Amino acid sequence: MTNWREVDAIAKEWIKEAGERIKQSFSKELLIETKSNKNDLVTEIDKATEDFLIKNINQTFPNHRILGEEGLSEAVEDLKGVVWIIDPIDGTMNFVHMQRDFAISIGIYEDGVGKIGLIYDVVADELYHVIKGNGVYMNDIPLAPLKETSVEKGIIGLNSTWVTENKRIDPTILAPLARDARGTRSFGSACLELAYIASGRMDAYITLRLSPWDYAAGKIMIEELGGMVTSLRNEKLNMLTQNSFFASKPGLHQEILEKYLNNGKW
Ligand code: IPD
Ligand code: CA
Ligand code: CA
C-alpha cells in the first residue's frame, strides 16, 4: 500500500528544490522555442524542471508512472496504478516575460483517483497542497471549505479569447457572463487560477482548452473543498486528453450552467 504522507513529504521537497533551480535561472538568457503555435512557448528551464522531477520519481518510486507536459518520460496511455501528472512550469509566457505568476503543478493519481496535489507559486513562495481527505493548505495555513456564491458577486477567471472570435465557442455564449459577473480575470497560469479558487481569491475558472497537467493538482484541491470541476458541458473530465474546463465554487457552478450554458447543451 502506498504511504501517501511519505510521498507528499518527498514531493514537497522536490517541488521546492525545483523552484529554487528555476529562480537561479532568472539571471541567465533563456532559450525560447515555440510548440503548437507561436504563443505556445517552452524554454530549456521547463524541460530541465520536468527532467529533474522525473529523475527523482524514477529513482525513489520505480513503479510509479509520469505524465508530463514536455513528454520526457515514457508515454502514459491509461491511469492504472500511481501516475504523477506534471506541468514543470505552468504559465511559461509569464515566466518568460514577467518572471512571476507561474507555478509548478504536480497531481498524483492512483487508478484515476486524485490523491495528492501540489501547486508551487515559485516567486510568491506559496505552496498549495492537498492530501485527499486531509484538507487543503497554503503553506501551513488550512484553507476553508468553499462557500456558495453567485455571478453577481463572483470573480470569474476567463480569457478574452473566449469572448472574441475563436475556433471553439460562439463568443456570444460567454460574453453575457463577462458582463454580469462582478469581475473577470486572466492570470496566464491555469493551475494558479485553480489555486486562487481554492484559497478564495477567485470564484470560478472557465476555458475551452486545458490539458491534464494544467489542472491535475488544482482539481483535487477544489473538490476537497466542496467545489465543482467539470467540462463546459458538465461532463466528467478525461484525464488523458484536452478538455473544455469549468471549475467553480458551489452554487455558482449551477447558476452559470443554467443561465449561460444551457445546462451544458450550448
Ligand atoms: C498554459 C497556461 C495558460 C492556459 C493555457 C495553458 P503553459 O500552460 O496555463 O494560462 O490558458 O491553456 O496551456 O503552456 O504555460 O504550461
Ligand atoms: Ca500548463
Ligand atoms: Ca507548461
- Residue spans of the domains in the chain: they are 4-142, 151-264
- The answer on pLDDT for 74 being more than 90 is no
In this predicted model, what pLDDT tens digit does every residue of 141-162 receive, in sequence order? 999 999 999 999 999 999 999 9
Topology (CATH level 3) of domain 4-142:
Fructose-1,6-Bisphosphatase; Chain A, domain 1 (3.30.540)
Q: Count Cα neighbours of 141 within 13 Å in the Cβ-side half-sphere.
A: 8
Strand (E) or helix (H) holding 252? helix 252-259
**Same fold across 4-142 and 151-264:** no
- Kindly state if the Cβ of 91 falls inside 6 Å of ligand 1: yes
pTM higher than the cut 0.95: yes
Report the relative pairing of strands 82-90 and 103-110 from DSSP bridges.
antiparallel
Structure confidence at residue 41 (pLDDT)? 83
Residue 153 has which C-alpha cell?
A: 458577486
Ligand 1: distance of its center to the CA of 48 in Å? 18
Alpha helix (H) residue ranges in 107-204: 171-180, 190-198
180 and 229 Cβ atoms separated by less than 8 Å: no
Ligand 1: distance of its center to the CA of 3 in Å? 31
94 and 26 Cβ atoms separated by less than 8 Å: no
Query: Cα separation of 26 and 45, whole Å?
Result: 10
Ligand 3: distance of its center to the CA of 13 in Å? 20
pLDDT > 70 fraction of the chain, expressed in percent and rounded: 100
Topology (CATH level 3) of domain 151-264:
D-Maltodextrin-Binding Protein; domain 2 (3.40.190)
- Kindly state if the Cβ of 86 falls inside 6 Å of ligand 1: no
CB atoms within 10 A of CB 19: 19
In this predicted model, what pLDDT tens digit does every residue of 190-229 receive, in sequence order? 999 999 999 999 999 999 999 999 999 999 999 999 999 9
